[in-house]
Amino acid sequence: MSPEKVSTSFALYPSSAEIVPEPLGVVLVIAAWNFPFLLAMDPLVGAVAAGNAVVLKPSELAPATSNLLARLIPFYLDNSAVCVVEGGVSETSALLDQKWDKIFYTGSSRVAKLVMAAASKHLTPVTLELGGKCPAIIDSSADLRVACRRIAVGKWGNNNGQACISPDYILADESIVHKLIETLTSTLKEFYGEDPRASPDLARIVNFSHFTRLTKLLDHPSTESTIVHGGQRDEKNLYIAPTILLNVPCDAPIMKEEIFGPLLPILTVKTVDEAVNFVTARPKPLALYVFTKRKSVKDVVLRDTSAGGMVVNDTMLHFVVLDLPFGGVGESGMGAYHGKHSFDNFSHRKAVLRRSFFADILARYPPYSSLKQRLVRCLLKADYFGIILVMLGLKR
């Protein structure tokens, strides 16, 4: 929170300037259900570090974690500075009706629009941590064994696909697509066994509503015939098997919304440019992954695409690098946090200029003349020699 010194111009001599971080005030943090502890505490730490008072709203879809936070936070933290409000839609709506100095929301784009609309009534700034369809581009030079392991753990090993930065679909060079499916399938068996339902390492779908949504995506006429692996489901236990689909039509529902589950479409492309064009024709994702050994491919994808974050030859790990800002762009969100970026997110950077009563330059005051104008121009350009010439009447 120490002031950050910045330089001033000669025209303001003598003076000093600094940027002073100050708390925004009272902020609202609305957390998501898929990482209910992390996505509540991570922004809370940044908000408190910046000096704000915080109201935390945990997700009602993770009731055990919500209850834990409601019990422990008042026990360990100052209740006048941090408090927890539990509840569902009605409680969240009541909170959004209040005037806040900042709202930090993690969740879906649909709810984010409601949050932003409520914030606009008070001109409240918002940070929206959303999601989108995160692509993984794989070219023919990639090490498929390593790539498949990293994609599999980023997709199915990460809440069974219920994560905003899980790979949503793959764009693969057509020359490797069959080898890719074969390697992904063997990787799944290596990770979760012949019957993934029995694996202790594979999550279930969070609730019946999301199970039904994912089932409808799978059973859509344009999609069900494209399944090349998996597809099994168990409604009673909210289980959907890791599922791979090949060349799903681009207008299928599964390709029009964030999947947020264990379904992974693979689309074939002929060139990297075709993959890049596919990505850029759609809303900007929260994360983008590219697997290649070719520097030229890395450079093209980095230069010609836009995403909240990008990882080369891996998935998701940018999330754990504290010096990297984490956040979206466009429809995948606005604002970023993690590490020092969390502090900055919840701070106002106040500009401060300090001057004394010494050296009051009369040329800045009316009545104005051509002489004063020439002096001011020289001052703004730090043209010391020009100032002397103007004073001597030798410069026009």
How many C-beta atoms surround the C-beta of residue 236 within 10 A? 5
Nearest partner of 136 among 149, 151, 146, judged by Cα: 151
> What is the residue-wise DSSP string for 312-342?
ESSSSGGGG-TTS-EE--GGGEE-EESTHHH
Q: Are 180 and 271 in contact (CB under 8 A)?
A: no
Evaluated on CA atoms 98, 104, 109, 113, the torsion sign reads positive
The whole-angstrom distance between residue 200's C-alpha and the CA centroid of its chain comes to 29
State the number of CA atoms in the 13 A half-sphere of 371 facing the CB: 11
User: What are the residue numbers of the active site?
Assistant: 129, 164
Beta strands 347-355 and 15-23 are antiparallel
Distance CA 80, CA 64 (A): 24
Whether residue 135 has a cis bond before it, omega within 30° of 0: no
Question: Which element (helix H / strand E) includes 112?
Answer: helix 109-120
Q: Are 305 and 279 in contact (CB under 8 A)?
A: yes
Distance CA 281, CA 264 (A): 20
